[in-house]
Amino acid sequence: MRKTLAALLIAAALPAAALAMPGPSAPCAPEAVQGMQHKAFHGKHDGGMRDLDLTREQRREMRRIMGEQHKAHWEIHQRYLDKLPQKEREAMQKEMRDNREKRQQEVRKLLTPEQQKRFDEMRKAMDERQAEWSEFQEWKADKAKAR
């Protein structure tokens, strides 16, 4: 349940983050979306700290620290989410899905027909990856139960 929610949240954020990114007008490869998501949330380079003129080692360490912070934040979020009754969790997930769909439709309306086609392809690819991930998680859970 936890990882499915995480996959949903990530899937919801990726299209908007990819489209919000400034940069070249060339279409974005799906495998590059994770990096774009990071840049969309933290600025073009260096986690929003480009004015500090960080060295390569400092940037690497900054990314590590930010990754740890993100992981800790996610774990705290999940700890409280796990305390919700099942009905409330399902209602929250439905509301999140509905909100994501609404925002994606708003974003899609801003695009040219060519961009809409690419956007739809990106969403389809993400949906396929999410379905594959969910299938894997179910298999993994079944395997763990069998032990």
Burial class (CB in 10 A: 0-12, 13-18, 19+), 56: exposed
- Residue 42 CB-half CA count within 13 A: 18
Domain that holds residue 46: 1-7+32-83
What integer pLDDT is reported at residue 36 of this predicted model? 47
Return the closest-CA partner of residue 6 out of 147, 102, 105, 130.
Answer: 130
| CA distances from residue 69 to 17, 24, 63, 72, 144 in whole angstroms, order as listed | 20, 30, 10, 5, 29
Please give the torsion angle defined by the CA atoms of residues 43, 44, 46 and 51, in that order, rounded to the nearest 10 degrees: -80
Does residue 56 share a domain with residue 94? no
Once rounded to an integer, what is the mean pLDDT over residues 63-76? 89
The residue type of 41 is: F
Does residue 145 share a domain with residue 112? yes
Q: How far apart are CA 56 and CA 115, in angstroms?
A: 35
What integer pLDDT is reported at residue 45 of this predicted model? 44
Does residue 3 share a domain with residue 74? yes
Compute the mean pLDDT over every residue in the chain, rounded to the nearest whole number.
Answer: 76
Percentage, residues of the chain above pLDDT 90: 27
Confidence of residue 3 (pLDDT cuts 50, 70, 90): low
Does residue 107 share a domain with residue 72? no
Confidence of residue 49 (pLDDT cuts 50, 70, 90): low
- Which tops the pLDDT comparison, 136 or 59? 136
Report how many domains make up the chain.
2
What integer pLDDT is reported at residue 131 of this predicted model? 95
Does residue 95 share a domain with residue 141? yes
- Which tops the pLDDT comparison, 109 or 44? 109
What integer pLDDT is reported at residue 25 of this predicted model? 38
Residue 100 located in a structural domain: yes
Once rounded to an integer, what is the mean pLDDT over residues 76-105? 88
Q: What angle do CA 30, 32, 34 make, to 5 degrees?
A: 100
> pTM for the complete prediction?
0.45
